[in-house]
Amino acid sequence: MHTTTEFVIAGFGGQGVLLTGQVLAYAALEAGKHVTWIPSYGPEMRGGTANCTVVISTEPIGAPLVRNPAVVIALNQPSFDKYEPIVRVGGVLAVNASLTTRAPVRTDIRVLAPHATEMAERAGSPKVAGIVLLGAAVAATGVLELGDIELALDKHLPAKHRDLLPVNIAALWAGAVLVAEPEI
């Protein structure tokens, strides 16, 4: 039986939304899965919200966009408001509680709402909040091993951010560890 998992990663331009999605996509490639990565590329990207959709599957992927993604990583309040209602029932919503002002309302999905910016700072840089949430979301779904993401970070982190590799890996695990705990 084939399994397909769709991720939407959304936030402000500059929060590393597209790069976080690419890290996930490369990790899927490392794991031998089929994968698509598609960004929103509209004028909305300039200073506004940015998002990308990553589909990971054990079979060749049809549609690269879906109505109800299995996983949403929301890095800011507008993305949280926009995507919370459309997460598939039984899916996962990882939201940065550092940058959002309300509690989630859905009870039919798994919500992970860590203070990701503070956690990222503790890991070494507030810029890697997206990787904290990625670690949490991937650990919650089990769609990939965290080692695949470490490998993807190692191979594909842009040269200018190369010095942040250990910080990214620390952030990844900080997010993943949250999932093992009963209450967040």
Binding residue for other proteins, selected from 42, 48, 147, 166, defined by CB under 8 A: 42
Q: How far is the CB of 108 from other proteins (least distance, A)?
A: 18
- Number of amino acids touching other proteins (CB under 8 A): 23
Q: How far is the CB of 35 from other proteins (least distance, A)?
A: 6
Binding residue for other proteins, selected from 8, 35, 157, 179, defined by CB under 8 A: 35
Q: How far is the CB of 121 from other proteins (least distance, A)?
A: 30
Nearer to other proteins by Cβ, of 20 and 36: the residue is 36
Query: Between the CA of residue 174 and those of 12, 29, 130, 168, what are the distances in Å?
Result: 22, 23, 12, 10
**Helical H runs in the chain?**
17-30, 77-83, 116-123, 129-141, 146-156, 165-180
Three-state DSSP at 36 gives strand
Sign of torsion over alpha carbons 155, 158, 159, 165: negative
On whether the CB atoms of residues 47 and 14 are closer than 8 A, the answer is: no
The candidate with the shortest Cα–Cα distance to 90, out of 67, 105, 113, 71, is 71
Applying CB under 8 A, does 26 fall inside the site for other proteins?
A: yes
Residues of span 51-90 touching other proteins by CB under 8 A: 60-68
> Residue 53 — φ and ψ, nearest 5°?
-115, 130
Applying CB under 8 A, does 22 fall inside the site for other proteins?
A: yes
Applying CB under 8 A, does 29 fall inside the site for other proteins?
A: yes
Residues that bind other proteins (CB under 8 A): 22, 25-26, 29, 32, 34-39, 41-43, 60-68
